Amino acid sequence: MRKRVSLVPQLIGLCIFLLIALSALLTATRADESVTAACYAGNRSVGSVVVFSVSDAARACNSLYYDCRGGCVGCVYDYDYVRNVCSDVSGRTFLRP
């Protein structure tokens, strides 16, 4: 007589493997967090944009708002500094006074 082998442990192992592989795949394809940046032309706010990096904020502002005319800075509120961290068109970051 042949001994009967249960497939349940193998199926459970396969399910665990697939779950881990799927979660790793989904984590790898998830985008960075986006943040809202305020756009300033001088001391006047002209609007806001959604960016993935503070260094991209000024370029996004200047691309979106005509009032900027290439001179806007983009600022994101940073809870570590408890102030706005801004960037200019060249990508230089600084704290907004």
Whether 79 has a pLDDT exceeding 90, the answer reads no
DSSP 19-62: HHHHHHHHHHHPPPPPEEEEEEETTEEEEEEEESSGGGHHHHHH
Q: Which domain holds residue 67?
A: 35-95
The number of domains in the chain is 1
> Within a domain: residue 44?
yes
Give the pLDDT score at 28: 47
Average pLDDT over residues 17-35: 65
What Cα–Cα distance (Å) separates residue 83 from each residue in 28, 67, 79, 95? Answer: 31, 24, 7, 7
For the entire predicted model, the pTM comes to 0.63
Average pLDDT over residues 48-54: 90
Average pLDDT over residues 61-76: 92
> Within a domain: residue 47?
yes
> Within a domain: residue 65?
yes
User: How confident is the prediction for the chain on average, in pLDDT?
Assistant: 82
> Within a domain: residue 71?
yes
Between 72 and 91, name the one with better pLDDT: 72
> Within a domain: residue 13?
no
> Within a domain: residue 19?
no
